[in-house]
Structure 1
Amino acid sequence: MVRLFSRLKAIDFFKKIPSDLTEATLTGAWLSIVAAVLMILLFVAELSAFLSTTTSSQLVVDRSPQNELLKLNFNISFPALSCEFATVDVSDSLGTKRMNLTKTVRKVPITLDMERQHQGAAVEDTAHKVGPKYDAEGHFDEEPDIDITVPLSHENFEATLARYPIAVINFYAPWCHWCQRLEPTWEAATKEVHDKYPEWDGRVRFAKVDCTAEVDLCRQHFIQGFPSIRVFRKGHDDIYIGGMHEHEAYMGDRTKDALVAFADSLVPSAGQPHRKLAGLSAAPKTPGCNLAGFVMVKKVPGTVHFVARSEGHSFDHTWMNMTHMIHSFHVGTRPSPRKYQQLKRLHPAGLTADWADKLHDQLFVSEHTQSTHEHYLQVVLTTIEPRHSRHTGNYDAYEYTAHSHSYQSDSIPSARFTYDLSPIQILVHETSKPWYQFLTTSCAIIGGVFTVAGILDALLYQSFKVVKKLNLGKQG
């Protein structure tokens, strides 16, 4: 056993030199101190790097699940587009078209200064409605000769309304196709209503206003689509219920029977301006509308279209002003505070103030009539994969570039948001150094510094010896 241990000494890598054969120098002491300090500093730096994480970025073809939908969020104010006709449409390059989306869109009336109404609630769109029915063309061949059907003007409008407890006014334009369809029916219904409720009764009256001749009068009552049928009570087109003013508009069928039945239903509420008639829609009491909500779209090029639309109404393009303020327009889901900090830390180029919403609080003014505004968005997906993804989860961050312009169009003015998604996805991985790499580097630091310090010490020692010999030789 003793012999075995003696043989093991032969493979000792660290053979010892007797202490009486070594020589300590002041230079070596200073080098040892410097080497020790340098080892400590490099070790601390390496430990800090080991404890911290690094990121690596890759460009890959978009790995999103097939048929995954994308969420487009918006909050936009149109100071000159009435909530009565403001709609949101979506179309894409696959041929999908969805008109007048309502389930996820909320409308709030606003003033020209884009201030929300203090009175009244937001307009909640209902499901898509079928357009109003009309009497067959040519059903009324003879137009009745009734003085009351002579269009009202700004000179006698207020006096006529003040004269009757209830007045039903048809705001029309002679060029409008739907107005032309309604005209004979309106005349016939007017005659029957006035025969049924003569002047001595006077509880309800029908009248009409030509909006091409009385432009200011129609705009004063926020008429944007033709024909628009409004109900006026005691000279006012609103009723006061529960501390709120509510305007009334008739959106039902436009047949003679339907109009006469509507007049009959109004008569019991004559002289009762606080009584709301079931079936009447809320008419606009401000010229503008704020649209907020979201739409789900396929991940292919498409367009979100804000425009005035209604079945059974026509629009004068020169009256449409699509000036709008984009309060926000962002893609995908907003990150939680925790994920935002994660994204801010791991994003390859960091986050700017407008990283997710390049159109935030931007105003686009229609300087000419029939101006359409086009916003072209190029969307890029960045997926953040944290080191501890089991606890925090991955996060998809959508960013986009925006280019906007306006142009005059022959079609009805609108605001269009055309989006195009990049097929390239940016993957950002959070990684940390393995423990064996930390040990390897630590050993390299200690060994490397020790070796370099030994070489320097040897060079300095030999240099001093040579200089000393030279000096002794000169003295001898």
Structure 2
Amino acid sequence: MMTSTQKARWLPKDFVEVSQTGGLLTLVTYAIMLLVFMSELSSFLSPGYSTVMSLDKHGSDALQINFDVDVHDIECRNLKIVVFAQNNEEKISTFGEDFWLRSIDSSGKTFGMAIKPMTDAETDDSDHQKQMKELLAKDGKKELDADWSDSHDGFNHQSFDHVLQAHDFTFINFFAGWCGHCQQFAPEWDKMALTVNGDERVNVPAQLFNDRDGKPRQVRMIKMNCVDFQSICREKGIDAYPMLRLYKADGTFSIYDGKRGEVEIMRWIERTIKMKSYGWGSHHEAFEKGCNAKGRLQVPRVPGHLELTVGDGDQNLNTRMINVSHSIKHLSFSDPDDGRYHRKGWANLPNDDCPTAFFCAHADVTKHLSPLDGRNFLTQAFHQAYIHDLKVVSTVAGGKTSYQFKYTGRVSTLAEDKIPQAQFHYDIEPFSINVKRDEKRWYDFGTSLCAILGGAFVVMRLISRFTLGVVKTVDGKKGHRGASIAAGGLNYD
């Protein structure tokens, strides 16, 4: 057995000298040192960010505008996407255009085919006829007219695009062999295909359909096996079977989602071919309630304004009834090198996926990359339009450039004879924000950790010694006073 004196040698001196005061201060010291250690370790493992402002030295002459906007009450045939100079109506020539329009119904759901309005295939019919002849000579009529129902049917099936380009219209049945609905629909499809495609072997001519100008057009009905040709179906976004699509030669398409009966399908084909390419729809009564504009534009890196221009289509609009209310699903700016998905520069920025706000002081950077996403801009009266003013600032992180922007908006009221337009004015700031990661090297971490822990220990040790000194002084005075009382008592003289 160890004596009390021997046990005391293994305890901190503070516990031995004054058990309550010294022990309490020792525990507090250990807790503070542990907290300081954890904070310093977290700072080392999750470094923060700092920003430096400098003149914009961006070398690219182009800027990419990425947009996905629903215009609720304007049909696609009457909507155009144009970029103007900032202070006048001069159109700015774009470096690249990759966007399309698609009709939306009253609930905002897209339907019909997506079209690229900057290419008008209807005006280049002679070029298309020439292209068809070239493909027929190159691939052969049998190859281009054949079904894609089997990868081992004796045909090459080299280019699905050639099949589309070789016909005015191609009605395709995307199916899978295991699909029960496809098997039920197969006899009805084969019956229609014989009628529409014709059969030269039995002298059955192909059926022709008149377009909106009264010109007869041929439709080729083809089956596509999505088990054998899985890559093509995946590329075309086929996620249900059977999927019926009517393709134009330029690759745009309209989706049939009605009853799979011969009478209904044939009527839909006749009606769809007579429509202009803007917004094919499977339901005529819901045809073109609104328009979704989605894609990207590459423009000169100078101030300007993007405009959803209304009234340049094939209809005369009533200026008293035009409503340009819209919803912004996405709007951002990026470098053209970022391509279609335009988020390469975003990956290097601080984001909101942080354990605590303390370690994410600059996490709000990502909030200003696309602050208008998911917002609705609905006017309350006719002759009104939203004007969006955007201050765009380039932000550099990890060698990649992204763009933050600050938004302010206003509602403009126009005269009755003026057509309201939804406008996005953007101004590029002459400075750039550089975001740098505040990394700490391991020896800096070790040095600072030792310094902080040592400092904390010394400070608490001084407090401890001071407290013990005060306690001893107080106890000494109390003892001396008690001894005096015991010796002679109090003197009241």
Partner of 1:110: 104
- Of 194, 210, 213 in structure 2, the residue corresponding to residue 231 of structure 1 is 213
- Of 277, 283, 288 in structure 2, the residue corresponding to residue 282 of structure 1 is 277
- Provide the TM-score with structure 2 as the length reference: 0.52
Alignment partners' CA distance in 1, 2:245 and 2:467: 91
**Structure 1 residues 462 and 127 mapped into 2: Cα distance closer, same or farther (>3 Å)?**
same
**Structure 1 residues 347 and 465 mapped into 2: Cα distance closer, same or farther (>3 Å)?**
closer
Partner of 2:329: 327
Question: How do 1:158-169 residues align onto structure 2 when only pairs under 5 Å count?
Answer: none
Aligned residues: CA RMSD: 4.8
Deviation digits for residues 262-283 of structure 1 (CA, Å, limit 9, x no counterpart)? xxxxxxxxxx997899999525
The count of aligned residue pairs is 322
Name the stretch that deviates more: 26-35 or 451-460. Answer: 26-35
Matched, 1:124 2:116: yes
**Structure 1 residues 90 and 347 mapped into 2: Cα distance closer, same or farther (>3 Å)?**
farther
- Select the structure of larger CA radius of gyration: 1
Matched, 1:417 2:399: no
Deviation at 1:447, TM superposition (A): 1.9
Q: Secondary structure at the match of 1:84?
A: helix
Name the stretch that deviates more: 401-410 or 450-459. Answer: 401-410
Partner of 2:84: 91
Partner of 1:471: 482
Alignment partners' CA distance in 2, 1:231 and 1:129: 14
Matched, 1:80 2:73: yes
Partner of 1:257: none
**Structure 1 residues 397 and 445 mapped into 2: Cα distance closer, same or farther (>3 Å)?**
farther
Q: Tell me which protein shows more helix as a share of its residues.
A: 2
Deviation at 1:47, TM superposition (A): 1.4
**Structure 1 residues 462 and 329 mapped into 2: Cα distance closer, same or farther (>3 Å)?**
same
Q: Secondary structure at the match of 2:454?
A: helix
Query: Do 1:87 and 1:100's aligned partners in 2 also have CA atoms closer than 8 Å?
Result: no
- Of 383, 389, 405 in structure 2, the residue corresponding to residue 376 of structure 1 is 389
Deviation digits for residues 202-244 of structure 1 (CA, Å, limit 9, x no counterpart)? xxxxxxxxxxxxxxxxxxxxxxxxxxx953699xxx9988666
Query: Do 2:393 and 2:405's aligned partners in 1 also have CA atoms closer than 8 Å?
Result: yes
**Structure 1 residues 344 and 296 mapped into 2: Cα distance closer, same or farther (>3 Å)?**
farther
Question: How do 1:181-220 residues align onto structure 2 when only pairs under 5 Å count?
Answer: none
Which amino acid letter does the alignment assign opposite residue 121 of structure 1? M
Partner of 1:140: none
Which amino acid letter does the alignment assign opposite residue 462 of structure 2? T
Query: Do 2:99 and 2:294's aligned partners in 1 also have CA atoms closer than 8 Å?
Result: yes
Q: Secondary structure at the match of 2:110?
A: coil
Question: How do 1:46-445 residues align onto structure 2 when only pairs under 5 Å count?
Answer: 46-53=36-43, 55=48, 57-58=50-51, 60-67=53-60, 69-93=62-86, 97-98=91-92, 103-117=97-111, 120-127=112-119, 230-231=212-213, 282=277, 286-287=287-288, 288-308=290-310, 310=312, 317-318=319-320, 320-332=322-334, 333-334=342-343, 342-345=351-354, 346-348=360-362, 350=364, 356-358=370-372, 360-365=374-379, 367-368=381-382, 370-381=383-394, 396=402, 398-409=404-415, 410-431=417-438, 434-435=444-445, 436-445=447-456
Deviation at 1:449, TM superposition (A): 1.6
Query: Do 1:89 and 1:99's aligned partners in 2 also have CA atoms closer than 8 Å?
Result: no
Q: Secondary structure at the match of 1:103?
A: strand
**Structure 1 residues 469 and 322 mapped into 2: Cα distance closer, same or farther (>3 Å)?**
closer
Partner of 1:211: none
**Structure 1 residues 273 and 353 mapped into 2: Cα distance closer, same or farther (>3 Å)?**
closer
Partner of 1:220: none
Deviation digits for residues 273-325 of structure 1 (CA, Å, limit 9, x no counterpart)? 97899999525553332111122344543200111365998766446442333
Query: Do 2:328 and 2:372's aligned partners in 1 also have CA atoms closer than 8 Å?
Result: no
Deviation digits for residues 368-407 of structure 1 (CA, Å, limit 9, x no counterpart)? 2x54432222344555x5xxx6xxx767462422313132
Alignment partners' CA distance in 1, 2:98 and 2:414: 30
Partner of 1:191: none
Matched, 1:461 2:455: no
Structure 2 residues not aligned, in runs of 5+:
1-8, 125-210, 222-243, 249-266, 281-286, 335-341, 355-359, 488-493
Structure 1 residues not aligned, in runs of 5+:
1-18, 133-228, 248-271
Which amino acid letter does the alignment assign opposite residue 475 of structure 1? A
